[in-house]
Amino acid sequence: MDKITLHVEGMSCGHCKAAVEKALKELAGVLGAEADVAAKTVAVTYDPGKVGRDDLAGAVAGAGYEVKD
């Protein structure tokens, strides 16, 4: 398992946090996601054999938020 922290723009409340976490956890290979609204980050634990950074960023974008490099 790998862990990555993504910088997410647009999160401003508990609903935002929940939406980002839910979108990531729905991906096959993601074991956990913990968003921090104040820091504008989400820490993701995932299986790199099943899912990659682009997949994670796509899930966040699909939820209406933007991953910054």
The whole-number average pLDDT for the span 4-9 is 97
Share of the chain above pLDDT 90, in %: 99
How sure is the predictor about 69, in pLDDT bands with cuts at 50, 70 and 90?
A: confident
Return the C-alpha torsion angle 25, 39, 57, 4, nearest 10.
-70
Length of the chain: 69
H/E stretch holding 24 reads helix 14-25
Q: Does residue 32 contact residue 18 with C-beta atoms inside 8 Å?
A: no
> Is domain 2-68 annotated with CATH 3.30.70.100?
yes
Tell me the per-residue pLDDT of 14-36, one tens digit each, with 9 for 90 and over.
999 999 999 999 999 999 999 99
- Domain spans, the chain: 2-68
Tell me the per-residue pLDDT of 47-59, one tens digit each, with 9 for 90 and over.
999 999 999 999 9
